[in-house]
Structure 1
Amino acid sequence: MSDQKSKSMLKPLLEFGPVVLFFVAYLKLKDEVFQIAGTEYSGFILVTAGFVPLMVISTLALWKLTGHLSKMQIATLVLVVVFGGLSIWFNDERFFKMKPTMIYLLFGGILGVGLMRGQSYLKVVMEEALPMQQEGWMILTRRLCLFFFGLAVLNEAIWRTQSEETWVYFKTFGLTAAMFAFFMAQSRVFQTYGIEKEE
């Protein structure tokens, strides 16, 4: 197996592995209560305590593997550490459940600032992988900005009104499926404004 092929297989494993492990561990420990140093911790808090260092290790491994990290990956890691740490410190799962809200508000806000300046910050991140005319980038950025804000609102609605287990399923599968569906729905933009790479 070539070194390049090994890297291409390891990259998605490092990106999605921690989330999958969080989900599996939660299903096993969700109904358990653990007594540690005289304090009771739910299975959710214990799984979160395992997820935070795992996310740090996998992100560092991804950096070593690829030689770089995107600003999105760095921001996501910081918010995982901050909100996961707050949940563990205060023994309160609500902080960790707020984390996706903060991530999507941050990303949506950054794209929004760029739009107000007449720029597409999305283009800066994705132009090499997805060559497109400026007009196409502006359309896609406006839509993704609104989409991020919509996901932030949806996450708040889910964790505040639904059961913990429902939120875990939503975070693990719902958000990923929503992002995939969003980009699939933009196929018309890609076809209309896409630029074919020269050989």
Structure 2
Amino acid sequence: MAGKTIDPKLKTALELGPIVVFFAAYLLLKDRVFTIGGTEYQGFILVTAGFIPLMLISTGLLWKLSGHVSKMQVITLVLVVIFGGLSVWLNDERFFKIKPTLIYLLFGGALGVGLLRGESYLQGLMEATLPLQPEGWMILTRRLCAFFFGLAVLNEVIWRTQTTETWVYFKTFGLTAAIFLFFMTQGAVFKKYGIEKDQG
């Protein structure tokens, strides 16, 4: 299916909306306990249960409207369904908390495999929006690979040593801010190895 033009604001809303709703719902329900079918569920579990169909709907709409979803978005969605579902089914929030760790290990591992083969898989994902010379892609890929592994370790430390509320804040704001700051600090690479779009 060919890509379609989609309003950038709508695209951002579909990508970030479920996370914002998850955070808001958690703040509302975090201290409540719900009894369903004779089993008690913490608010976090119910919010997780609602997050799964919300992610499915938003990703489906994104695909329908734009004609495209990235491999990273598909992998993330699959892990949300699997580990979110396990958390709800087993009434154990730990499965959902492990999800970011696995996502970053998968992304970091995939980039690492490419590097071992002398390739930048990142280039194939982002070349259309971020033109760089091959050397630039390799540098950026090595750094992002290490960064993803670092985030995986950090998520493990946070959820295992901090409260659920602290982890929710970390997942909602900390991880997003970390990725934003990573790319903001790569200005030297973009400047040195960037390719002008009208070049050639």
Same fold, TM-score > 0.5, yes or no: yes
**TM-score in terms of structure 1 length:** 0.97
By how many angstroms is 1:9 displaced?
2.0
* Matching of residue 87 in structure 1 with residue 52 in structure 2: no
Gaps of 5+ in 1: none
Amino acid at match of 1:51: F
Partner of 2:157: 157
* Matching of residue 100 in structure 1 with residue 100 in structure 2: yes
Partner of 1:196: 196
Amino acid at match of 2:96: F
Deviations 1:32-89 (A, max 9, x none): 0000000000000000000001000000000001101110010000000000000001
By how many angstroms is 1:7 displaced?
2.4
Q: 3-state SS of the aligned residue for 1:78?
A: helix
Amino acid at match of 2:30: K
Write the distance in 2 (CA, Å) between the matches of 1:102 and 1:15.
20
Write the distance in 2 (CA, Å) between the matches of 1:165 and 1:8.
31
CA contact (8 A) 1:120 1:138 kept: yes
Partner of 1:125: 125
Write the distance in 2 (CA, Å) between the matches of 1:113 and 1:183.
21
CA contact (8 A) 1:30 1:42 kept: yes
Partner of 1:146: 146
CA contact (8 A) 1:7 1:65 kept: no
Deviations 1:134-186 (A, max 9, x none): 00000000000000000000000000000100000000000000000000010
Write the distance in 2 (CA, Å) between the matches of 1:177 and 1:7.
23
**TM-score in terms of structure 2 length:** 0.96
Q: 3-state SS of the aligned residue for 1:92?
A: coil
Write the distance in 2 (CA, Å) between the matches of 1:68 and 1:136.
26
**What's the % identity of the aligned pairs?**
73
In the TM superposition, what are the counterparts of 1:108-119 in structure 2 within 5 Å?
108-119=108-119
> How many residues matched?
196
Partner of 2:38: 38
Write the distance in 2 (CA, Å) between the matches of 1:116 and 1:8.
35
Write the distance in 2 (CA, Å) between the matches of 1:119 and 1:79.
26
By how many angstroms is 1:8 displaced?
2.0
Amino acid at match of 2:44: F
Write the distance in 2 (CA, Å) between the matches of 1:122 and 1:7.
25
* Matching of residue 171 in structure 1 with residue 158 in structure 2: no
CA contact (8 A) 1:115 1:142 kept: yes
Amino acid at match of 1:185: T
